[in-house]
Amino acid sequence: MNNNEFVTLAHGAGGRQTAELIDRVFKAHFSNPDFTGDDAAVLPVDAGKIAFTTDGFIVSPFEFPGGNIGKLSICGTVNDLACMGAKPLYLSCAFVIEEGFPLAKLEEIAAAMKKTADEAGVRIVAGDTKVAGKGQVDHVFITTTGVGQLTEGVRTSGAFAKPGDAVIVTGDVGRHGCTILLARNEFEIDADVTSDCAPLWGTVKSMLDASHDIHVIRDATRGGVGTVLYEIADQSKVGIRLNSADVPVAPEVRGVCGMLGLEPLYLACEGRLVVFAPKSEAPAILDALRKGPYSASAAIIGEVVADHPGKVVMTTEIGAQSLLPQPGGELLPRIC
């Protein structure tokens, strides 16, 4: 495929050129026994329960240090399934592509999806392609839908956090949000930060192998870890105490945040889980996490309390208590 081939409206018209695009890009990369080209994939169902979820992905720029929208679209759905303790099995993906998008870039995106899906142990079994006119979408949007097999004896939910639980984060926070901020180059800041974007079924599996007594697993995406903490405090009607010194943040991310007056806890992650489990289980879980490729810097950052339900209270560097502000609205740099 040469560099001056582009997606055209004809590629989305459903005729020969659509078939050509599917053959050249998607079939070439996604090929597996369950990806048949029929109207729907026909899949075996095991006994037990399945988890089922969907997510849409738009990101500007569509390529960034540490990944691209393709990798992101697999990780997002795989991680949502993993958070329920479900082994991801099958994914579908729907593309909306802007007219004029380079085919070579589309191939890179498909290759990243295939690689990430393989790592997560999931098969892409169905798809759809639409082409929108120039300016109607920002390069390419992807929606993925996934099903996974629930692990027996495991039941996690945002409503299950209990006083006495330890709050664990599986790595340093805010990398993805910081990476995207820098990649847009609006503020002309340069820092060696790559997205944490990663498929986390392996990470969840290692925790479940260490303990089935895990109450909540949630992936921190938009709004970051701070948003997840407020969601859980609200859903479980508990209070959360956080120790600010224990929250892992890469120095570069801290530097960028310092420059722009931002709080790392509200920057998006795409490869970080927030885990709530009884304190007695925490050491084994942490031990398992620290051996994993995406969770070497996992840390206990706080605990669940019965006091101040719905609120997240932080112990600050002077040893005083302060409310973690509720995230909301768009993140705006604070300068003057």
Site residues, another protein (CB under 8 A): 186-192, 251-252, 254-256, 258-261, 307-308, 311, 313-314, 316-318, 320-323, 325-326, 328-330, 332-336
Nearer to another protein, 213 or 263 (CB): 263
DSSP-derived 3-state class of residue 122: coil
Closer Cβ to another protein, 132 or 189, answer by number: 189
Distance, CA of 270 to CA of 196 (rounded, Å)? 6
**Residue 128 C-beta: closest distance to another protein, Å:** 30
Cβ proximity of 312 and 230 under 8 Å: yes
Closest Cα to residue 69, out of 162, 183, 206?
183
The C-alpha angle with vertex 232 and arms to 231 and 237, in degrees rounded to 5, equals 110
Closer Cβ to another protein, 212 or 254, answer by number: 254
What distance in Å separates the CA atoms of residue 38 and residue 170, rounded to the nearest whole number?
Answer: 40
**Minimum distance, C-beta of residue 312 to another protein, in the bound complex (Å):** 10
- Shortest CB 74 distance to another protein, Å: 29
255-282 burial, b at 16+ Cβ within 10 Å, e below that, comes to ebbeebebbbbbbbbbbbbbbbbbeebb
| Closest approach of another protein to the CB of residue 327, in Å | 10
Please say which residue, 159 or 323, places its beta carbon nearer to another protein. 323
Nearer to another protein, 86 or 182 (CB): 182
Of the pair 94, 189, the CB lying nearest another protein is at 189
- Return the biggest CA–CA distance within the chain: 67
What 3-state class would DSSP assign to 319?
coil
Considering the complex, what minimum distance in angstroms separates the CB of residue 303 from another protein?
A: 16
Q: How far is the CB of 89 from another protein (least distance, A)?
A: 39
Distance CA 262, CA 282 (A): 30
Q: Which is nearer to another protein, 15 or 61 (CB)?
A: 61
- Identity of the residue, 15 or 333, whose beta carbon is nearer to another protein in the bound complex: 333
Q: Which residue shows structure tokens 């540490």? A: 66
Nearer to another protein, 60 or 321 (CB): 321
Closest approach, Cβ 294 to another protein, in A, equals 21
Q: How far is the CB of 58 from another protein (least distance, A)?
A: 17
User: Are the C-beta atoms of residues 78 and 147 closer than 8 Å to each other?
Assistant: no
Residue 281 sits at φ, ψ, to 5 deg, of -85, -20
- Give the integer Cα–Cα distance in Å for 151 and 145: 19
Under DSSP, the state recorded for 26 is I
Q: How far apart, in Å, are the Cα atoms of 269 and each of 63, 195, 235, 307, 328?
A: 16, 8, 21, 28, 16
Judge residue 49's burial from the number of C-beta atoms within 10 Å of its C-beta, 0-12 exposed, 13-18 middle, 19 or more buried: middle
Structure tokens at 101: 């998008």
Beta bridge partners of 128: 94
Minimal distance, residue 290 CB to another protein, in Å: 24
